[in-house]
Chains A and B, each alone.
Chain A
Amino acid sequence: MFSQEMMDSIKKIEATRQSRIGADLRRMTADEKEKLLKEYHPDFVEDGFSTLEIGPNKGDKVPHELADLLQANSRLLDLDNYKDLSELEAELIEPDYDVDVLIIGGGGAGASAAIEADEGDADVLIVTKLRMGDANTMMAEGGIQAADKANDSPAQHYLDALGGGHYTNKPDLLHKLVTEGPDCVKWLNDLGVMFDKDSDGNMITTHGGGTSRKRMHAAKDYSGAEIMRVLRDEVMNREIPIVDFTAAIELILDDQGKAAGAVLMNLETKEILIARAKTIVIATGGAGRLHYQGFPTSNHYGATADGLILGYRAGAALLYADTLQYHPTGVAYPPQIFGALVTEKVRSLGAQLVNCEGEAFMNPLETRDVSAASIIRECRTHKKGIATAEGEGVWLDTPMIEQLHGEGTIEARIPGMMRMFGKYDIDIRKVPILVYPTLHYQNGGLKIAADGMTDIENLFVAGEAVGGIHGRNRLMGNSLLDIIVFGRNAGKNASAKCKAVETGRLSLKHVEAFAAEMAAAGIETEKVSPLLLPSYTHGREND
C-alpha cells in the first residue's frame, strides 16, 4: 500500500533500527522546549486567532473558527415554526420535559454524571445530539492515569500534570483530579471495566508523554471504548431516560438569571422541545470538528464546541479557550484514515519517531505539545518528512515494539491499531507507519469551581467542555480520568443542589441581550450557532 518513495525510506528506517534500540534519546531542556513551542506549535500561530469583541471574555483571543461561532446568531432567532422569540417564550410555561437534573451530552462525562445524579435520587434526563456513547470517550485509546502504585502518589501525579500544563492548571481542579483518581479507577473496575492486569491483580501500567511514574492504566487500546460501553450499559440498567438525536440549541435561564433548562431540537424532525430542570450539566465535549487552522482531527463527528457556545451566550466565562492539543501522532497515510488517532501507547511501548533518513529525532515520550511541535519542525524546517497525498509525515517505528517486548506484543496490547492499518494492507508489526499532528483535544473550555459549577448558578460543566484542569496542555490519560472525576463530581453536586432549587419564571431574555450586544459591537454575520454537525464534501465542488 505504500508508494515507492515511502518504501525506499522504509529501507533506511530498517537499516538504522538495530542501532536505535536501547539508544538513550536525550530529553529536551525546559528552554529548548519553550523555544520549540513558540516557533512551531499551532497555538502560537498568531493569524490563527481572533479577539472576542463581546461576552464575558471580551478582549481574549480564541481560534477564528470558535470566535465565529461564539459571536454568531442564535438558532432561536430563525426557527421555521415560530414567528419570533416571544412566541417560543410563551411555550416555556409548558415544558415537554420537567426534571431535576438535565445532562446535555452522552459521552463519558455525561454518563458518569447521570449515574451519580441517579445515585443521588434525582430525576435525571440525558439529551444527546447523536447516540448515547457517540463521543470522544469512545475513541480514547491509550489509557487512564491514576497514582495507585507503591512508588507513586497523588502529589507526584500533580507535579507531572502541572509541569505538563506549563504551570497554568487551576490548582484546586488539578488537586481534585489527582486525589480522586484512584477512587475513580476503582469505581470503573467495580462497574466491570476490564482493565489490563497481571495474574496477581496488579494493574499493568505504562508511561505516557510527560509522566514520571508508570501510571497509565489501559484496556488494551480500547480503553475509552471499554469505559464508554460499560458506562452506557450502566445508564441503561438504571433506566435513566435518554433523548437521542436531539441537540440543546440554547440554555434557558430563569428570571433571576439562574440556569433553568434548555431549548432542544430533534435533529431528524427539527421539532423544538423545552426541557425545564433545576440543575444542568453541560457535558458536550470538544471541538475537533471545527478543524482549527485546517488540521485534520481525531475527534468524533459531533465535536463542534456546542457547550461552549451555549454557556457563553448565557454569560458563562471561558478559560484557556485559545489552547488546543494537537496529538503528535495522527495518521498521515493512508488517506482514508487521515487524521485518525494513533494512540500514544505505541510510543509508550517503545516505538520511536524517525525521519526519512532513519534518524530518531527526539525522545518519543516528550509531552504532546512538544512532540507535535518537534514533528512539524522536522518536516517544515529540517525537510526530513515524507510526502503524502494530504501533506507529509514522519515514521513511527512500530516494528521496534516486537523487538523490544517480544513477538505478539502488538496484537496483545494495541490490537485496535493493528486492525485499523490492517484494513489498508499495512501490517504495523512489519512496517512503520506515517504520522503527523492531528487536532485532538480542547484544553480550554468553560470555567468552573471545584464543585463543577460555572459562574451561572445551577449550571455545571464536566469533561472536555471544562477549561482549567489541564492548564495549557494535557497529559495523555488525564482526560479519561477527568471525565470520570468531574463527571461524577458534577452529577453528585447537581443532584444535591437541585433539592433546594426553586426555579423562577423561565426566560430567553439573555438570547435577545446577546443579539443586542452583537449589534452594538457592529457584528453582522450569516452564521448561526451552535454548529451541531460539520459538513463535508470531500472535494465535490472541484470535480
Chain B
Amino acid sequence: MREMVNVYIMGKKYTVPEELTIMGAMEYAGYQLIRGSGCRNGFCGACATVYRIKGRTELQACLACQKQVENDMYLATLPFFPLIKQQYNINEISPEEQLMMQLYPEIYKCIGCNACTKACPQELNVMQYIAYAQRGEFEKCAEESFDCVMCGICSSRCPAGISHPQVALLTRRLTGKYLAPESDHLKQRVEQIASGQFREMMQSIMQKPLEEIKELYNKREIEQ
C-alpha cells in the first residue's frame, strides 16, 4: 500500500499517493486534463498552480508538473492568466530606454513589494529584472529573466498590473537581435551558400556510391 496524503483540489478533498506531483494527483483523482498540462517537464508554464498548506498563511506558487503533493495542500490551478502583450515590429523598434515607456509604461508603477519574486516557481529575481527594464538595461533583464516559462504567476500577484513575462520577452528579443554581438561567421556562411560555394562539394558527396559514402563516414575526422 502506498503512503497517501489528503489534498484539496479547487477546495475538494482527494486522497492521493504521496509520491505524485500535483498534476499526477489530479489525474489520479480522475481529472482528464485539457488545460493546465503542457510539456509536463517544467518548460512551458501551462500548469501554474497556487497553494496554501492548511494552517499556514503563506500562499505559495509552483508548476503542477514539478511539485510533489503535501498533506493538507489546498490548491488551485491557474491555467491561463490575462497578460498584456503589446504588438510591435521587431525590425522597426530599437533597444532604447523610452521603448519601455511606450510599450509597457506600467513597469514604472512598480511599488517594490517583491510579490512577483516571491511567487516565481522558477525562483527568478523578477522584481530585479523589472528594475533593469525600467533603467533600459535590457541585456541584464534578458539574462536575469532567461529561465522564465511565462506562467504568469508573478503578474497575478502584482498590484501594479505589470505583465512581467512579456516585458522580459521583449528585452530578450532585443538582446538577441540588436544587443548581442553579430555573428560574422554565420553571416558569411549564409552568403557563401547563397553564392553556390558549397554546391559542388555537396553534389560530389551525393553522387558517390553508397559504399564510398560509408567509407567516408566511418573514416571521417572528428574535431576534438
Contacts and interface: CB of A to CB of B under 8 A. Distances in A.
Contact of B186 (A130, A189, A226): A189
Given A139-B44, A167-B214, A203-B183, A234 B90 contact: yes
Contacts of A237: 87-90
Contact of B223 (A185, A195, A207, A300): A207
A186 B182 CA distance: 10
A377 interface: no
Nearest to A191: B90
B44 A300 contact: yes
A458 interface: no
A139 B216 CA distance: 34
Contacts of A146: 186
B68 A134 contact: no
Contact of B32 (A150, A200, A535, A539): A535
Contacts, number: 222
Contacts of B44: 133-134, 138-139, 225, 300
B172 A167 contact: no
A173 B46 CA distance: 34
B198 to A, nearest CB: 5
B33 interface: yes
A182 B189 contact: yes
Contacts of B180: 194-195, 197, 201
B128 interface: no
Interface stretch (B18-26, B50-58, B153-161): B18-26
A444 B39 CA distance: 22
A50 interface: no
A234 B91 CA distance: 11
Interface residues of B, number: 74
Interface string B27-63: 1101011110111111110100000000000000000
Nearest to B198: A154
A415 B124 CA distance: 12
Contacts of B172: 192, 194, 226, 230
A307 B88 CA distance: 33
B36 to A, nearest CB: 10
B223 A151 contact: yes
A175 B1 CA distance: 56
A149 interface: yes
A537 B33 CA distance: 11
A154 B202 contact: yes
Contacts of A2: none
A388 interface: no
B106 interface: no
B22 to A, nearest CB: 10
B202 A267 contact: no
Given A236-B85, A419-B147, A138 B39 contact: yes
A80 interface: no
A334 B39 CA distance: 18
Interface stretch (A94-102, A335-343, A391-399): A335-343
B39 to A, nearest CB: 4
A186 B187 contact: yes
B140 interface: no
A159 B217 contact: yes
Contact of B177 (A191, A200, A220): A191
B185 interface: yes
Contacts of B12: none
18 contacts: A139-B41, A149-B189, A156-B220, A179-B198, A182-B186, A183-B190, A189-B186, A191-B173, A194-B180, A213-B223, A224-B43, A226-B172, A268-B35, A336-B20, A419-B42, A419-B122, A533-B32, A540-B28
7 pairs of A and B residues whose beta carbons are closest in the complex: A192-B173, A201-B181, A163-B217, A192-B176, A192-B177, A194-B176, A134-B38
